[in-house]
């Protein structure tokens, strides 16, 4: 699911760039690409800049799958948060804000 989401965010993306994004070696991402292609989640298109490579794009099937998984995760988290005491929810909100700020700073430092 993480690799599919990376393809969605960075589409069109080459396998080499996807491996960099996922911080894995190219053979590892190649196996995942093959699986996602077989499942109809992504499509490969020729890379106009490099005839030896391809570009990856998510399909409607892949987008639908991500939407479904995200909805299920959101519903689960909503249920979980609803079961917590108010002070714990407040603590989590503060922690989320701190993490968001740290992430933004990290992205700015990396120049992305």
Q: For residue 19, what is the domain's CATH number?
A: 1.10.10.10
56 and 33 fall within a common domain: yes
**Which residues of 13-111 form beta strands (DSSP E)?**
42-46, 54-58
7 and 48 fall within a common domain: yes
55 and 105 fall within a common domain: no
Q: What percent of the chain has pLDDT over 90?
A: 83
Report pLDDT for 8: 96
In a domain, residue 69? The reply is no
Total number of domains in the chain? 2
For the chain, the straight-line distance linking the first and the last C-alpha, in angstroms and rounded, comes to 22
- 41: domain range? 2-61
89 and 51 fall within a common domain: no
Highest mean pLDDT: which range of 32-41, 42-51, 95-104: 32-41
């Amino acid at each position: 699911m993480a690799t599919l989401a990376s393809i969605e965010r960075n589409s069109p993306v080459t396998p080499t760039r996807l491996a960099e994004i996922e911080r894995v070696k190219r053979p590892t991402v190649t196996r995942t690409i093959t699986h996602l292609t077989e499942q109809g989640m992504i499509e490969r298109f020729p890379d106009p800049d490099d005839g030896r490579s391809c570009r990856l794009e998510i399909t409607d099937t892949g987008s639908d799958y991500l939407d479904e998984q995200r909805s299920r995760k959101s519903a689960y988290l909503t249920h979980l948060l609803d079961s917590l005491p108010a002070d714990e929810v407040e603590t989590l909100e503060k922690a989320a804000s701190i993490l968001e700020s740290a992430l933004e700073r990290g992205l700015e430092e990396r120049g992305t």
